[in-house]
Amino acid sequence: MALYRAKALGRCQYKVFDNELSHAIRERVELTTALARLAEGEG
């Protein structure tokens, strides 16, 4: 995730994996799980 964030910032950038990225990943996983459940009819 940190690699993708650094790439989005542009050339010669780096991003350290921190609590902000951890939170973003957690939200993405929760959203993906909720969407998968809805698609399966469990929502």
pTM for the structure as a whole: 0.59
What's residue 43's pLDDT? Answer: 61
Q: Name the residue with higher pLDDT: 43 or 39.
A: 39
Total number of domains constituting the chain: 1
Dihedral of the CA atoms 17, 32, 7, 15 (nearest 10)?
Answer: -10
Residue 12 has pLDDT above 90, yes or no: no
CA gap 24, 6 in Å, rounded: 14
Q: Residue 20 sits in which domain range? A: 2-40
Are the CB atoms for 15 and 6 separated by under 8 Å? yes
CA gap 15, 10 in Å, rounded: 11
Encode 2-16: b = buried (16+ Cβ within 10 Å), e = exposed: eeebeeeeeeeeebe
